[in-house]
Chains A and B, each alone.
Chain A
Amino acid sequence: MPIDWFPLWLSLRVAVLATAAAVVLGLWLAWLLANRDFRGKEWLDAAVALPLVLPPTVLGYYLLVLLGRASPLGKLYETVVGQPLVFTWQAAVVAALFHALPLLVKSARAALESVDPVYQRAARTLGASEWRVFLRVTLPLTQRQVLAAAALAFARSLGDFGVTLMIAGNIPGRTQTISVAIYDAVMADNGAAARAMVLVVSVVALATLALANRLSGAAMR
């Protein structure tokens, strides 16, 4: 029986999109946490880290409630896009995004905080807006660490299982990502397919982690 590689391509597409979204959202959150003092900052900090400790089923349940067809957000999405979000491959992107976000925020925040504040001060006295300071000074100075964080986020979004299953389901050929497909293959006693997919996922994850280490290692030097 030939191995169906659709889950791999879907997973890669989901992981790329989720990483892109996580970088934008994560950098913004990291910047907020690193630079701003506001009420409830500790709570935001804790909430961002929550997906690391919550069972995926709990996180998935929250997202179902938040984005389901009956919820305001779900309805809004359906009106704009023309189809519901849950149980589509786009929902898998959302799942992977939340799965990857905590890691990205943590490392991006550490990177932003590692920049000597004197450069930001200098940029401000030279008339730069906060946005310009971030884009032209802070971000270039942390480029490598942020790329390393993005690589980590990519590896992590590739590996989500529980949340994806909860909100994107397990529809072969439509929403079945590789981690879910491996589970199916094992359950169906399809050892060859399981082994092949396990090997591919492991190689991709290992290569991504090596890249991440290389990036952050070079930044240290």
Chain B
Amino acid sequence: MIEARIRKRFRQGRESAGFTLDVEFEAGPGVTVLFGASGAGKTLTLDCIAGFVKPDEGRILLDDVILFDAVSGVNLPPRERRCGYVFQNYALFPHMTLRENLTFAAGGWPRAERRRKVNEVLERFRLADIAGRMPHELSGGQKQRGSIARALVGGGASHSGGTRILLLDEPAQGLDAPLREEFYAVLRQVKAEFGTPALLVTHSLEECCALADYMHVVSAGRLARSGTPREVIEEPGSADVARLLGLYNLISGEVRALDPGRNRSRLKLGEFEVEARYLPGRLIGDRVTVYVRPAELRASPKDGRPGVNQAALVLRQVVDLAEGVRLEFESGIAVEMTRADYALSAAAREWLVEFPASSLRVL
């Protein structure tokens, strides 16, 4: 379990904008994901935990061991932190065979124990047959399993207690779909068989949903939202997070009327007005951002004047999804529906889009 409070400031340079990382979070057992756009500070956070970068302020605790504490001046070198780091390009030593890579990592164990551990891990990750190969002779998936295996074997004199946490930096970036699936399976295997917690950095929501027990959304050096992937997706909590997740229609609007008695409110969204639930704590005239999941909207070909909570919109393009299609309208609003529903009215250009009151979430 990791408890981290990290503050690191980079002054504005001639070619770089200033940047401040200021995060505080915990990562318990299982897989914790740091999710965010590139440049948000995710990898920097990982590097602070591994000991490559020294924070200005804060404290990093891993299983009751202080890795870093600005106040008391503790700053363990990377080799004493027992963090298994899986790098983006795997960083298997190119001059060693796969087995030698693992044996190097297991250097802290007594000789007999080392052999046994290396063999066991090679076996578990289905690498025993190819252990004698050099990294450049391995496939992408084998390299990936190899580097996770190496990180788990944990070496060095001070590593004899084993690796305490896996740190993974965008490990599935640039992999094709089957390899990504394989990677998910390997990480689930790590969780089930080794019980080693993992902190994973990614900007892929798919990866996040496939693996995360818990996620922290990092945005511009800060934590914007934390929760299970389900909680975060259902309630992003801010327009910023909703935009990062990339799942929503985000519409800015204005509060026109509020009726607490009937649990109603009226919002003006661009050209049209819709009825939503009552908005506690808002005043008439407030600017708000409304986010709506594309699957919760209903669209039908225009056959008259728009009714309550309906807007007449012009279709711009149709995108095929794994399940169904997404209709993208000119105002930037997207609606998802099944292929069968769409097939009934595929030729239409003008549509009526209905915004059910329950689908409108206001930030």
Interface residues of A (CB under 8 A from B): 116, 118-119, 121-129, 132, 136-137, 140-141
Does B81 contact A141, Cβ atoms closer than 8 Å?
Answer: no
Give the residues in chain A near B150, CB-CB below 8 Å: 126
Closest Cβ–Cβ distance, residue B122 to chain A (whole Å): 16
Give the residues in chain A near B91, CB-CB below 8 Å: 116, 118-119, 121-122
Give the residues in chain A near B107, CB-CB below 8 Å: 126-128, 132
Does B104 contact A125, Cβ atoms closer than 8 Å?
Answer: no
* Chain B residues touching A, range: 20 to 34
8 contacts between A and B (CB under 8 A): A123-B93, A125-B50, A125-B51, A126-B79, A126-B107, A126-B156, A126-B159, A128-B156
Give the residue of B87, B94, B108 whose beta carbon is less than 8 angstroms from that of A141: B94
CA distance A116 to B108 in the complex (A): 25
Nearest to A118 among chain B residues (CB) is: B91
Does A127 contact B77, Cβ atoms closer than 8 Å?
Answer: no
Q: A128-B107, A132-B107, A140-B95 are in contact. Are A122 and B87 (CB under 8 A)?
A: yes
CA distance A12 to B158 in the complex (A): 46
Give the residues in chain A near B78, CB-CB below 8 Å: 121, 124-125
Scoring B residues 146 to 178 as 1 if CB is less than 8 Å from chain A, else 0, what string do you get?
Answer: 000011001111110000000000000000000
Give the residues in chain B near A127, CB-CB below 8 Å: 79-80, 82, 105, 107-108, 154-159
CA distance A128 to B154 in the complex (A): 10
Give the residues in chain B near A140, CB-CB below 8 Å: 95
Tell whether B276 is near chain A: CB-to-CB under 8 Å.
no
Scoring B residues 70 to 105 as 1 if CB is less than 8 Å from chain A, else 0, what string do you get?
Answer: 000000011111111101010101110000000011
Does A121 contact B156, Cβ atoms closer than 8 Å?
Answer: no
Give the residues in chain B near A128, CB-CB below 8 Å: 79, 104, 107, 155-156
Closest Cβ–Cβ distance, residue A37 to chain B (whole Å): 13
Which among A116, A122, A140, A141 has the greatest number of chain B C-beta atoms within 10 A? Answer: A122
Does A126 contact B155, Cβ atoms closer than 8 Å?
Answer: yes
Nearest to B105 among chain A residues (CB) is: A126
Give the residues in chain A near B156, CB-CB below 8 Å: 126-129
Does A125 contact B83, Cβ atoms closer than 8 Å?
Answer: yes
